[in-house]
A and B are shown apart, each in its own frame.
Chain A
Amino acid sequence: MEPVERVIRWILLCGIAVSVALLAAGLVIGVARGAGLPRGVVPLAEIPRALAAFRPAAYLSLGLIVLIGTPFVRVAGSLVMFVRERDGRYVLVTAIVLLVMCLGVLLGKV
């Protein structure tokens, strides 16, 4: 495997592991409290407080956020690797991809 491939694999594995751990924690807490699955996600800003309160929805929400965020981190990680390899062309290509992803999220909010 190339270094960039190794980094991508590592980022994806970590993302999946953290996400599954959070989702599992949310499910376990939910079952322990005798509640079913919650019907809505917790907004980003309220997650820390909800986590501290052991609300299952907070753990499930964060698990989903980690899952959704993993491709962003993957692209960012590839960018770092291309910079380190001084592969100017793919630094540019990857930076554009990351930029468009973030732009898409910002535009979608409006």
Chain B
Amino acid sequence: MAFVAGVFGSMLGVGGGIIMVPMLSLAFGVPIKVAIATSIVCVIATSSMAQTTFVSRGMTNVRLGMLLEVATSVGAVAGGITAVLIDGRVLQFCFVAVLVYIAWQMNRRGGDVAPARTGVLEARYYDAATGHDVEYDVRRTRLGFVLSLGAGNVSGLLGVGGGAFKVPIMNLLMGVPLKATIATSNLMIGVTAATGAAIFYGRGYMDPYYAVPAALGILAGARLGPRLAVRLSARALGIIFQVVLLVFAVLMILRGLGLGL
């Protein structure tokens, strides 16, 4: 199971905590906090392993990732403050609505974004699926930064990695091609997850009985995922991503109804 999670997580730039947590707690009867701790370790493993492939292929925009990490990590730390202000149910409903909206937008767009020239954070990578170099610049950096604050905040609140938001923000809004987006999001989720994991370790929720096999399985899976992501067409990746978003939405609805989580 961890192997499969590793393949998908690393292929799509999402941590997959939202799938791992209910699976561990429902199918294996793992206590919820331990399940979250295990899932966070898996996100780190996914991120680290996948980056060794993505970075060497020049797919990751390191500077863009670092810039948005400021927003997502500040947002995540501020999550506790927002939790007092907004009701959990309202938040979950918004989460579902946004996921469905994003999937619909990505579907409407059909293909990948057209690269634009703005002179900001310009980068290029080789697309193995088309055999061409892709050059792109980053658009709407400020708006992307502000929305990343929100994404970090929500992920801190709901205990999900937030890759599901980071990918659309970079792809749809900032005009970063999907493959570079996935690689960059994958780099970013490691930062938030490592902070969370350190906290869970300190509080004693880390259970080697689950975390060790899961981490090893993920590491193996995350070697395969990026290779698939590099080869698949952006269109195919986009469709897989939309399906995963809708699965996330369904899981979050179940969670809101008190089933599972």
Whether A75 is near chain B, meaning CB under 8 Å from some CB there, is yes
Q: Are B62 and A40 in contact (CB under 8 A)?
A: no
Are B199 and A68 closer than 8 Å at their CB atoms?
no
Central interface residue in B48, B56, B203, by most chain A CB within 10 Å: B48
The residue in chain A whose Cβ has the minimal distance to the Cβ of B216 is: A23
Please tell me which one of the listed residues B77, B190, B211 contacts residue A71 in the complex, with CB atoms under 8 A apart. Answer: B190
The B interface, classified by DSSP as helix, strand, loop or mixed, is helix
CB 8 Å contact bits of B212-233 with A (1 = contact, 0 = none): 1101100100000000000000
Q: Are B199 and A8 in contact (CB under 8 A)?
A: no
Does A50 reach chain B (CB closer than 8 Å)? no
Task: Check A13/B201 contact, CB under 8 A, given A20-B219, A67-B45.
Answer: no
Whole-angstrom CA separation of A104 from B208 in the bound complex: 23
Chain B stretch 174-222: residues in CB contact (< 8 A) with chain A: 190-191, 193-199, 201-204, 206-209, 211-213, 215-216, 219
User: Which B residues from 36 to 65 make CB contacts under 8 A with A?
Assistant: 41, 44-45, 47-49, 51-52, 55-56, 58, 60, 62-63
A64 close to B56 (CB less than 8 A): no
The answer to the question of B4 belonging to the interface, with a C-beta cut-off of 8 Å to chain A, is no
Are A68 and B198 in contact, with the CB atoms below 8 A?
yes
Q: Which of B63, B77, B196, B215 contacts A90 (CB 8 A)?
A: B63
Distance between Cα atoms of A19 and B52 in the complex (Å):
15
Residues of A within 8 A of B70 (CB): 93, 96-97, 100
B254 to chain A, nearest CB (A): 28
Which residues of the other chain, B, contact A39 by a CB distance below 8 angstroms? Answer: 207-209
- Number of residues of chain B lying within 8 A (CB) of chain A: 45
With contacts A40-B208, A64-B208 known, is A101 near B66, CB below 8 A?
Answer: no
Q: Is the CB of B55 within 8 A of A57?
A: no
C-alpha gap A37/B74 in the complex (Å): 36
Q: Tell which of B62, B67, B212 touches A27, judged by Cβ atoms closer than 8 Å.
A: B212
Give the Cβ gap from B154 to chain A, nearest Cβ, in Å.
16
Q: Does A53 contact B (CB under 8 A)?
A: no
Q: A61 CA to B199 CA in the complex, in Å?
A: 14
Residues of A within 8 A of B (CB): 1-2, 4-5, 8-9, 12-13, 15-16, 19-20, 23, 26-27, 36-41, 43, 57, 60-61, 63-65, 67-72, 74-75, 78, 90, 93-94, 96-97, 100-101, 103-105, 107-109
Q: Which residues of B line the A interface, CB within 8 A? A: 41, 44-45, 47-49, 51-52, 55-56, 58, 60, 62-63, 66-67, 69-70, 73-74, 76-77, 190-191, 193-199, 201-204, 206-209, 211-213, 215-216, 219
